[in-house]
Amino acid sequence: MKRVAVVGIGHSKFGRRTDVNVGELAFESIKQAVDDAGVDRKDIGNVVVGSAGGWYEESLPAVVVGEYAGLSGAGTMRVEAACASGSAAVKAAYNSIVSGETDVAMAVGVEKMTEVDTSTSVELIGRAGSYMWEFENYGMTFPAYYALYAVAHMNKFGTTEEDMSRVAVKAHHYGAMNPLAQFQKEITLEKALGSQMVSWPLKLYDACPLSDGSAAVVLASEETAKKLTDTPVWVKGVGYSSDSANLSRRSDYVGLRAAVDAAGRAYAMAKVTPQDIDVATAHDCFTIAELMAYEDLGFCKKGEAAKLIREGQTELGGKIPVNLDGGLKAKGHPIGATGVSMAVEITKQLRGEAGSHQAPIKNGVGLVHNIGGTGHYAYVTILSRD
């Protein structure tokens, strides 16, 4: 199998971006990634756009993005895996190189979620479950789905509301260090715990925001990568899986089976273990999601996630630093861009370019954990500088 490396990265400012349309927003990260890779646009054989869509005006975003960025003529498509659309785009671009179709490919994640009103967003995200059974019949909203996980985890393992608020405090701490983050202010534990209730036990500060943003990565085959850069970051393993759209068919609510399966496949492909990971990004759409990710990824035993956050083991200097860019919670969560944004962050970490939030890199291995829906999709990508 051909080796594939990340050779270029780009990232827009996340937040409410009324200053740009979708093509312009995507171009911000594409230009950075192309310049970083030092590659000619005409040599990019495939451009894969990850975007869940529905929030903004374009129904054919891949064509619009490619044309605006001067990439017309390249192979292109748009992929969707809900909140994991970005990682799906990275996987599709990776596949086009491994298959021999092209030596250079690009994955772009983009979403513009603030063009619609809040009630419309609530409906669009609520449809991420089993529409007829959960949304139409029972009126489930997305916070309510994750509230079920939170209550189950609390009842089974003694996890507390304070533990979840600690995740939020950590996210805002690192978001304050990230000039591209949507939220760049620290919060206290008291503020998080005292914030407005959304769906018990989840409060305002337990939830990520609606966001606009884009991110891009340029991938290249081994031979091409070595010509382009002295610091390639290799795609060592990609695992992916899925689960039922209907929560009533899940075996339990204290973790995501798809994430466990995806992680196992990624570790096996990369020939590493959870103990080899230096730094990770985890899908923290809600604070309980990050806690479950610690367990699903094997960073701790089942039921011990709260212990990790209480002891600071997922912060800088801890056992396994997680979401040092602020995560979805503070950096923002433009759905299609998130998985690519995570790959950008881990690439920066492995290159030693993360600045004030740089993790110690001992083994040269980082991990991206990206979930779609309520555990419908799961992608785990392992990157390495060796």
Catalytically active residues, by annotation: 83, 333
Distance CA 243, CA 250 (A): 8
b/e map 176-201, b = 16+ CB within 10 Å: bbbebbbbbebbeeeebbebeebbeb
CB 316 within 8 A of CB 359: yes
CB 242 within 8 A of CB 261: no
**CB neighbourhood size of 265 (10 A):** 17
Residue 50 amino acid letter: G
- Angle, in degrees to the nearest 10, between helices 287-296 and 142-157: 60
